[in-house]
Amino acid sequence: MKHVCLVLLCLLCAACTNFQNPVIGENGPALDEALVGHWTAVNDESRYEIEITRNGTEGKAVITTIEPGKDTETAVTRLITARIERHDFGSLGGTGDQDKSWSLFRYELPAPGRLAIYLDDGTYWSKAIRDKLVSGTNECGKICNTVVTASSEELRAVVQGYGPVIFKAEPVIELTRE
């Protein structure tokens, strides 16, 4: 399955961090009810749509990317959210047996019907692996690929301690509820 969610969240970043586990709150996997609904964003001529529904204790996100001159891409992914300290975090992950990687982001609902998504600064997790703050690998060839193998509980602890400095100050994308 193509990782359309990474296209949306990374928005063409050259090297994204992959996580083997989602970040979860103290009570386990959850879904922030405020995210349920249909969200859209337009970037230049591209359009991104996310339909978030509840699937048990977690969420299901159907992510569609529409670009002129290209086939529409759609991916179905799991969504788990966690409130840690005063910040909200989400993990998007594959639904199949072959795709078990997750992406981590911070999000805010700055106003009714608005969703802002923040990505990590692109270097934090690589340094955290190098400094043995979390387990994982850094593989560099033409591009660097960082894979964090830490458990969900370990991720929660790191995000709790360092959350504000892990993520960029500006959102990478802002969506509106339709």
Instruction: Quote the tokens at residue 132.
Output: 């043995």
Strands (E), the chain: 17-19, 37-43, 46-55, 58-66, 73-84, 87-93, 102-108, 114-118, 136-140, 144-148, 173-177
* pLDDT for 6 beyond 60: no
In the chain, the N- to C-terminal Cα span, in Å, equals: 27
Q: Mean of the per-residue pLDDT values for the chain?
A: 85
* pLDDT for 129 beyond 60: yes
* pLDDT for 173 beyond 80: yes
Task: Map out the domains of the chain as residue ranges.
Answer: 4-33+80-173
Mean pLDDT of 125-139: 91
Q: What is the pLDDT of residue 138?
A: 87
Range with the poorest average pLDDT among 45-49, 71-75, 143-147: 143-147
- Whether pTM > 0.85 for this model: the answer is yes
Contact by Cβ (8 Å): 162, 143: no
Per-residue pLDDT of 18-71, as tens digits, reads: 899 999 988 888 999 999 999 999 988 889 999 999 999 999 999 999 999 999
Q: What is the pLDDT of residue 141?
A: 60
